[in-house]
Amino acid sequence: MRRRVLWLLLIGLFVAILVLIARRGEGTVGPLSNQDFASLVYKTALLVFLGGAALTLIRERFTHALGSLLLWVVLGLGLVIGYSYRFELRDVADRVMAELVPGHVIGRGRNVEIARTNTGDFAVTAQVNGASVAMVLDTGASSVVLTREDAKAAGLPLEILAYTTSIDTANGRARAAPVTLDRVAIGSLVEHSVEALVVQPGQLKVSLLGMSFLNRLRSWEVRGDRLLLRGYP
């Protein structure tokens, strides 16, 4: 169909050129002057040429163009669906991260959820005075307990600490220094002026999340393989 139309246009242009040549001496072609008619023929020929080139290009690249169009449509639909279900997808991503990365916190406002590790512990990455500190939940510890390395990362003045408190650890009795932490955050749960202890070097392998932080919360519980922490609104 397109080829037939193209041939008809070419024949029409050829006839128009013949008419222009035949009436060259008369000065007019119907209501138009020879100059206006010649301009019309030229513009029509240019239009036919450009249109034919465009049709040829489209026909040759139609499959590629269609594939690109479908790709952009799929990407657009994916973005729309992703935005519509962004909260559900975030929950799925948080749960996957909780399984793959020990200590990852699933946050929902002032409530956080932590998955149990393969060792059976609840590991959590807390922010202590702005420093990331790996901790393990220990409900038997009356206070948050930091290793010397974590205390140093949190910016505590180690050189003036007084190890005046006796505590029980997995390695036996140890001495610890009482301190007050400016800020302890687990996900969206943030507490200020939290009492803590810093143990002497070599007495503890990992810092402990104890009751001086947990008692600040509205509630906490272990439900299956999840630790649920709920803060005040």
Under 8 Å between Cβ of 206 and 122: no
Mean pLDDT over the full length of the chain: 75
pTM listed for this prediction: 0.58
Residue pLDDT, tens place only, 35-91? 665 566 556 655 655 565 555 555 555 566 555 556 665 665 566 555 555 555 555
- All structural domains of the chain, each given as residue ranges with its CATH number in brackets, are 2-81 (no CATH), 102-230 (2.40.70.10)
Cα torsion 21, 22, 26, 31: sign: negative
Please report the DSSP string for 20-81 in residue order: HHHTTTTSEETTEEHHHHHHHHHHHHHHHHHHHHHHHHHHHTHHHHHHHHHHHHHHHHHHHH
Torsions phi, psi for 5 (to 5 deg): -65, -40
d(CA 39, CA 32): 10
